[in-house]
Every structure is written in structure tokens, then in C-alpha cells.
Chains A and B, each alone.
Chain A
Amino acid sequence: MRKNLIMALLIIGTFLIQSTLRAVIPAQYTIPDLMLILTCSMGLMRGKKSGMLTGFFGGLLYDLFYGPLFGFTALCYLYIGYANGHLYKVFFDEDIRVPMATVGLSEFVYKLAVFIVEFVLNSRYRFGAYLSGTILPSVIASILFTILMYTVYRLINKKIAAYEAEARQSPWLRR
């Protein structure tokens, strides 16, 4: 119960920070996709289910306010969380390079999906301009912000994991 509450607060907090980040970041820089970083982090640290749920609700919140198609971002983030969850068993959470790589890849795939939807809806075909103008800057911004955000998320996850372990174990077995 407390875990779910913390997750909900994390998603809402991330959304709030992301939508108001422009007040701190100068206009010529791209805003990183914090919700995607959260989804990837949760998938990597907590597994497929957590990744999926985080992505789904985070995407839904985004869609509610800014999405071109209600449900589309949720769908993309859902699969990103699921895909990252596959690495849960092989990944040690100390290595920052793994989340950086998966965030970069996920951002690329997600923006590609956005382009395809735009292509269908508005028949845009200048892929080159979109690639250099939008996809690459956001991939780089997200990779850089992963370093900071992942560290924060990892600390929070440690707290959740400690609480879970505490709840599961009998008092006299506790470390």
C-alpha cells in the first residue's frame, strides 16, 4: 500500500518537474524526458510489472494534458517499461551505464514511434530534419539527465525495497 503511494507520488512529482523544467533550463536546450527515465529506471530496478505500470500511468498523465492521441504515450511507455524489465535479472543497479544506454535507446524508439504517428496523421515525410532537430537532441538530453535522475530514483527504490524486506521478514530475522 505504502509502496503504491510512493510510486504514485513519484510519477506525479516527475510529471510536475518535467512540465515546469523550462523555467530553469534556458530556451536553446532540449528538455529531457524524465517520465521515460523513470519508466526505464523502474523497469531495470524493479522488474517488468513495475516498469509497465509506471510507464502506463505516467504516459496516461502526459496524454491527459499534452498527448496528440489519448493513450498513445501510455502505450509506448508501457512497452518501454516492459522491455527494460527484461534486464531486471541480469542488471546490477550500481552501474549507471546500463540505464544510460537503455534510456537512450528507448527515447530513440519512442520518438520514432511519434514520427510514425505524425506521418500517418499529418503526412510528414522529412525524416532527416526530424532526426537531427528533435530526436538526437532529446536522446542526448535524456541520457545526460539519466545520471542525475537515476541516482535519485535508485535511492528511493532502496528505501522501498528495505521497507518491503522488513514487511516480509519476521522481526527476529531482520538484519
Chain B
Amino acid sequence: MRKKRGSFLKSKYMLFILTAICIALIGLTLTSALPIDPVRNTVGTLIIPLQNGLNRAGSWMTGRRSTQKTADELQLENDELREKVANLQEQNTILTENTIELEELRELYNVDREYAYYDKVAADVIANDTGNWYNRFTINKGENDGIHTDMNVLSSGGLVGIVTETGPNWATVRSVIDDGCSVSSMILVTSDNCIVSGDMSLMEQGKLVLTDLSVDVSVSVGEKVVTSNISDKYLPGILIGYVDEIGEDQNHLMQTGTVLPAADFSHLDHVLVILETKNTGGTP
């Protein structure tokens, strides 16, 4: 009986002490008095290889499952793909011609800010936050490959997010659909500035919120939204997505709506990191 009471008191004390530690940690990191990067780096170097291996094993298992298709399905797919290849080959020749022409014209105009020209490094997504969408995820390349904080991350379709933390062989990326993440952007056709931000309630639909667009601008659904020149962390002209809905807000001063992102956030496996951070000239 005595022992029981003793352990009861002890667990209460323990709760009290651990609560105090947690609150202290929250406070210290909020005021950024406590540097947690060294701890994260040490733990990261130990854990990342394990995550990498597990992830590969998991992909291998699901990969094997998806190869078990019937011959009919494969035949059908093969036909479709053949057709596609033929089409693409034709397109490719046209595009190659265009590219040559474009390069000549570019040289003429001294323009080389297109994002195809940025140095990029490819990386695999190896671990992610536990939500349904990739709000924050870890990739298998880090400082050793030249990745630093604030570098932009792309996937096949467009902007995915920004590097927030790095280790020697890993980096954490915060995606644009993450709640509270906002990107200064513009409508491509009209060059009008607006803000695109992630929203928790739209996250499950995979959409972004568009705000602060002037009422005078007429925008139609489907127009491209790209990062703007005045953004302080994102390089200009990267495709974010397409306007999905647009309308005046309640006070009729601004237009708000939603954007359908170009990158497919529910199937992110490989990403590209642009090895260049935006140079704003001023203090960061």
C-alpha cells in the first residue's frame, strides 16, 4: 500500500517536471533562444539512412504489387503508350526547332531568367509528416549536394515548396499547401500581383487560397499563376498552378479565390531542388 502511494506521488511529480520542460522548450524555440539545429542534425544523420532503407523496401513492395497486372491491361496500356510516343516524337521535333530559335532570340535579348536555366538537383522523398498531404517532408539530399535553406523545390508540374532545414545528407521541405505558408505571386498573363497561401481547410482538397488580387483585374478560371518578381524567397516565374475559382470578397476591395496547384501533392516521389537562392540585395 505504501509503495503504491509513493509511485502515485512520483508520477504526479514527473508529470509536473515534464510539463515544465515542454513549456520551457516551446517558449525557448518561440523566442529562438534555443538552437535545436545541432540536435536535429545529429539525430538526422542517424535516422535518415534508416528511413531511406525502409522507404525503399516499402516502395519495392508496392512496386511489385502494381506489376501484377493482367496481360490485357498491359497490352492496352502498351498501345496507348505507343500512340503517345509517336505524338510526342512529332511534338519533340517541333519543340527542338523552337528551342533553337528561342535560344537565338534569347541571346539576342540577353534574357536568361527562365527557370529551365537554373541549376537543379534531383532528390527522392523519403519521409513525410503524418498528414494526408505532403505538408512537410524529408528528401535524401542535403548540404553535401549543395542544398541550403530557402532553396526552391519543384516537382514535374511546378512549385512544391521551400527547403526549411538541412543536414549533411537530408533536407526538410515545407510545401506550399502547408497551412500558413504564403507565396507572393502573380497572374502570368496580366502580371498582377496576388498572394497564394496554404489553408488547412483546403488542404484535403489539394487547393491553395488566392488573396489580395486587385478588383480591377479580370481573371478567368484556368489562368496560370506564377511566383512574382517581388517575392523575397521564391525565384520569379515558377509555375504554382491554375486559377480554380475567383470572385470579389465581402468588402469588394479585393478578389479572392482558389488555385489548383500544378504539382501533384498526393503523389510526390521525386523532386527537383533549384541550387540557387533568391538574392534580394537587401537584408534577409
Q: Which A residues are closer than 8 A to B by beta carbons?
A: 12, 15-24, 27-31, 33, 47-49, 52-53, 56, 61, 64-66, 69-72, 74-75, 78-79, 82, 85, 118, 121-122, 124, 126, 128-130, 133-134, 137
B22 in contact with A85 (CB, 8 Å): no
Assess A134 versus B132: contact at CB under 8 Å? Given A23-B58, A64-B39, A124-B179: yes
23 chain-A/chain-B pairs, Cβ below 8 angstroms:
A15-B47, A20-B55, A20-B58, A20-B127, A23-B55, A23-B58, A23-B61, A27-B266, A31-B131, A48-B11, A53-B14, A56-B22, A61-B43, A64-B43, A66-B129, A69-B26, A70-B25, A70-B26, A70-B29, A79-B15, A124-B199, A129-B200, A137-B132
In the complex, the answer to whether A134 meets B204 with C-beta atoms within 8 Å is yes
* A28 B266 Cβ-Cβ under 8 A: yes
Contact B22 A30 (CB under 8 A): no
Q: Which residue of A lies closest to B30 (CB)?
A: A69
Q: Across the two chains, which residue of chain A brings its CB closest to B46? A: A12
With A33-B130, A124-B179, A134-B132: A118-B55 Cβ-Cβ less than 8 Å: no
Q: Count B interface residues, CB 8 Å.
A: 52
Q: Contact: A78 with B18, CB < 8 Å?
A: yes
Contact of A23 among B10, B26, B62, B179 (CB under 8 A): B62
Q: Which residues of B contact A (CB under 8 A)?
A: 7, 10-11, 14-15, 18-19, 21-26, 29-30, 34, 36, 39-40, 43-44, 47, 50-51, 54-55, 57-59, 61-62, 126-132, 136, 138, 172, 179-180, 199-205, 266-267
Is A85's CB under 8 angstroms from B11's CB?
Answer: yes
Known contacts A66-B136, A70-B36, A82 near B15 by CB under 8 Å: yes
